[in-house]
Structure 1
């Protein structure tokens, strides 16, 4: 197949033929996703589709499809079917976590529409999240015992990261190191699994699977670090969240943690503002203005770009084919959102 004129480019600069295969793969993922979340009860079916229908980047399934392109059997029908199911399992796990996040964060918007807890209620949102976790497990069970074990380990890390995120930083613990560990579990783990599944089910050898798993975790870290920067730096985000959402909720992301550690008396006002949730709109605007001009933003960007460099470096043993080039470009696209 040749590149289709006018087709959406999933990764800027990607090979056109590869882009077309990824688009076809995502269409297959979407069809399968709609099939498995359907339910005889119309209310349950609608609630289960709610956040999926709101859109989203489908970043995780796209990474599963892209990692599969590195494998020797990616074009075989049986491998393609397994990769699609793995991608669906990953996306269902992600969507399930969003239903729970909306309840825990007391969110009002998700992807530009009322959050699940607003559209339904807390109890329904929690139960729909559980239903989707169960559906993900059922899909993954069809891929074999190893895949089930990976899914279980990933789920444990997701939950552990969320628990640690909701707890105070333990005494005698570096807040930045604690935060980065939480990100690795909450975001990095599932994105690592997305890449791992793609490599596994396309027949990559064990060394390549390990390499792409490591790559995925680092990309996941970059993804979340860049989102955290955007929450401060941008005037608006395409996620449906308004800037300063993390500050409103009292979430101390990397720029805030760096600013809090400052011993410059000129930062006393900023440190006072970001000591906890910033719920007053005037104070929120002041905090955003001070943070945007603070060296902590550049320090956080530099850290994000270092992790991006590490992700690219993991790919060096894989050569320079179209899929590997796309994986490198993907890192750039994720990291540079924060610039």
Structure 2
């Protein structure tokens, strides 16, 4: 499916405008984990899905994800994505946003030929992702953001794009509603674990391994789980002072690292990955279920 998927992705963003075709293909050609299409494929293998329809649906989900990266980078003023210059760094914010919108439009064009329940799921998820992005922006520099609210935001902004391919794959496989729900919850929990590891790696990872700079969220006032956890520790008052002075972001990061927050974040990520695994107990021990369980281990272990 991998080679076929790449062909569908690149073909989908190709247009009569050579410049737009080139720009839209930049992130796609850099590859990435292709985790969401893999989730859809594995969930589809839990039943009996049509390969061509599953391929088309997988391309839709990946295009939506890539479009969201373009828009995220504009909002975040990011300069690096997938190991190279971001679209906004290459062509400016306005062009990068337009390219992201083009990719989303091409995803919609592919979506038009899929079953109505799949179309409805994609529409619902797109709304949820946008709402999550808005809520994150509303809480920028919010030192009093509680941990539960943070988890709710990442459930919308990140985990929903893990839940979606799992739900679609299960629906295309012809699974029972209770099974579709279990698979969707698997994806949501996995997405939360994924983002928590991302939060952790923002303090412990290397830019070269991650494909993007570390520490950028802290610098622009997007306080992730380790930061919010550290603010509730004994050194929280000092951390508040450091976060109020932009020139001491590095010192703030050191306080977060010393607080035990990275360890707590990793433990919570493992808890969510375990929740994801338990949702698969509903299914017989098949190669597809084993592959999904292997993905939870991969998410927890990545770049560490």
| Cα distance between partner residues in 2 of 1:293 and 1:338 | 21
Contact 2:193 2:268 in 1 (8 A): no
Q: Work out whether 1:295 is the aligned partner of 2:264.
A: no
2:2 to 26, 29, 33: 26
1:190 to 154, 158, 161: 161
Alignment-derived partner of residue 218 in structure 1: 189
Q: Work out whether 1:204 is the aligned partner of 2:175.
A: yes
Q: Work out whether 1:98 is the aligned partner of 2:69.
A: yes
Any idea what SS the aligned residue of 1:204 has?
coil
| Cα distance between partner residues in 1 of 2:190 and 2:128 | 17
Q: CA deviation at 1:275?
A: 4.5
Contact 1:108 1:118 in 2 (8 A): yes
Q: More deviation in 194-203 or 284-293?
A: 284-293
TM-score by length of 2: 0.93
Q: Deviations over 1:52-106 (max 9, x none)?
A: 12221111111111111111x24xxxx0001000000000100111111111111
1:331 to 291, 296, 303: 296
Q: Work out whether 1:84 is the aligned partner of 2:55.
A: yes
| Cα distance between partner residues in 2 of 1:198 and 1:168 | 33
Contact 1:111 1:238 in 2 (8 A): no
Contact 1:256 1:274 in 2 (8 A): no
TM-score by length of 1: 0.84
Alignment-derived partner of residue 276 in structure 2: 311
Q: Work out whether 1:274 is the aligned partner of 2:239.
A: no
> 4+ runs of 1 displaced by more than 6 Å?
none
Contact 2:83 2:208 in 1 (8 A): no
Contact 1:141 1:147 in 2 (8 A): no
Alignment-derived partner of residue 22 in structure 2: 46
Alignment-derived partner of residue 125 in structure 1: 96
State how 1:167-182 maps to structure 2 within 5 Å: 167-168=138-139, 175-182=146-153
Any idea what SS the aligned residue of 1:107 has?
coil
Alignment-derived partner of residue 242 in structure 1: 213
Any idea what SS the aligned residue of 2:285 has?
coil
Unaligned runs of 5+ in 1: 1-24
Q: Deviations over 1:113-135 (max 9, x none)?
A: 11111111211111111111111
Unaligned runs of 5+ in 2: none
| Cα distance between partner residues in 1 of 2:284 and 2:16 | 48
Contact 1:218 1:310 in 2 (8 A): yes
Contact 1:227 1:338 in 2 (8 A): no
| Cα distance between partner residues in 2 of 1:200 and 1:158 | 21
Alignment-derived partner of residue 58 in structure 1: 34
Q: Deviations over 1:252-294 (max 9, x none)?
A: 00010011122x2x44433322347x4x3xx343333332222
Q: Deviations over 1:147-175 (max 9, x none)?
A: 11111101000100000000038x9x862
Q: CA deviation at 1:296?
A: 1.7
